[in-house]
Structure 1
């Protein structure tokens, strides 16, 4: 008598899998870029430690002359501008420059992420890190007595967004056209020079010979824009226009001349 044949066990379907969507790839890259910035000692130093030291130093001293208004309010606006420059320009220029040198950009540009996804990932990471900076530095400033104008909070956020776009475009332009060693030197030099060209020091405190130039630079527009918003509660429309022009010109130049490998 033949033995019965047991039926084959039913196959339980697993979860549906497939290629990640463009949005998922962008979010994954943004998360990776964010963790790279926050987990890198040198970038964290530039993004948070140095701005915090500048804030405490300016708040507790009488020099340099920051002009009218409560000193802590003027100093905080300048330090928030410094934080934007540190993350969107200096940090991204150096990181992207060395990624290009070691072939990371070429690899990612040819991957499913693509070049657009890579840029969007960097933009998302800059936005997240700047948000962290605003919270941490704003909290420190509040402890030191900072009381921003409530009517200036919305225009301040717009100014931060436009400033981040302009400086990120400039950082990518530098990273994509100059060798990594040159990017390192130029990005750090620019960071130091911009401190006194409208970032920490208001443009109306500068010598007459450079006031006009400083107001046309993205550093002057960002710093003065945040001071007008947070100290006086104004909408810095002229400064927004300057930042939009710089973002547009630097963005167009980056698209035209950015090299994905040395």
Structure 2
């Protein structure tokens, strides 16, 4: 089904308030409109909301009321919250955006939008904005519940944690787009959901590497999930930055981005 370039289904292509008749809106406005449209679509999807909000909340409460994290610090909620915030980035950027992009590619939406004034760069930028908007909502919800349960992070930790979480979201967005742009949508659905489960349970994003065997902990330290989890715990527990984990996460971000740029297929 073809969609007219100026229809509501392509809100980023033209904004009549900001452009002369027959002319495209400024790039910033096009990207912002696309990001707003994609964020609204994500938040209206029930399955996405379960993955983005319900699952992290259940994980937070489970870690706060069970002895899984006992012996790792003075407060279960203080140890649990950084990992759950990192899990939010994984849920939205990797699984959510990967699945959405995979099916957009299948139905020709990506190919169509890439030929509008939005362009390929604007489309990707819009997806990044959508991820960050959804992540901001997740962080607000999780942080509110965690604060109610007694979470009191240091101020310097919050200031460090925000850019680190954004870096994590960028890394997992690149990896999600790489998968969505190279395999069939059904495979994207399976891979990203399986990846979410493995990263969450065994990837060091929720549980610190110390909870695993020595061999497993050595592997976890090199994963993007383990690096993000370590960074968030170091920032929000100690107000510090783990340099090794930061280098690992940056390496995954660069490698994932370059691979997505090279191998992403628009149709």
TM-score by length of 2: 0.89
Q: 1:120 to 1:66 in 2, by over 3 A?
A: farther
Q: Report how many residues are paired.
A: 247
Query: Does the residue aligned with 2:265 lie in a helix, a strand or coil?
Result: coil
In structure 2, the partner of 1:171 is: 176
State whether structure 2 residue 69 is matched by structure 1 residue 101: no
What's the CA shift for 1:62? 1.1
Q: Deviations over 1:208-240 (max 9, x none)?
A: 111111111110010111001101111222222
Aligned residue runs from structure 1 range 103-252, under 5 A: 103-195=108-200, 196-252=202-258
The equivalent position to 2:78 in structure 1, one of 70, 73, 90, is: 73
Gaps of at least 5 residues in structure 1 are 1-14
The CA RMSD over aligned residues, in Å, is: 1.3
Query: Does the residue aligned with 2:36 lie in a helix, a strand or coil?
Result: helix
Of the two structures, which has the highest relative contact order with CA contacts closer than 8 Å and spacing of 6 or more?
A: 1
State whether structure 2 residue 238 is matched by structure 1 residue 258: no
Runs ≥4 residues deviating over 3 A? 15-18
Larger Rg: 1
d(CA) in 1 for partners of 2:161, 2:149: 20
Q: Deviations over 1:37-62 (max 9, x none)?
A: 11111111101111011111111111
d(CA) in 2 for partners of 1:242, 1:66: 27
The answer on whether the counterparts of 1:162 and 1:240 sit within 8 Å (CA) in structure 2 is: no
Q: Deviations over 1:160-188 (max 9, x none)?
A: 01101110000000000010000101101
Gaps of at least 5 residues in structure 2 are 1-18
What's the CA shift for 1:245? 0.6
TM-score by length of 1: 0.91
The answer on whether the counterparts of 2:69 and 2:76 sit within 8 Å (CA) in structure 1 is: no
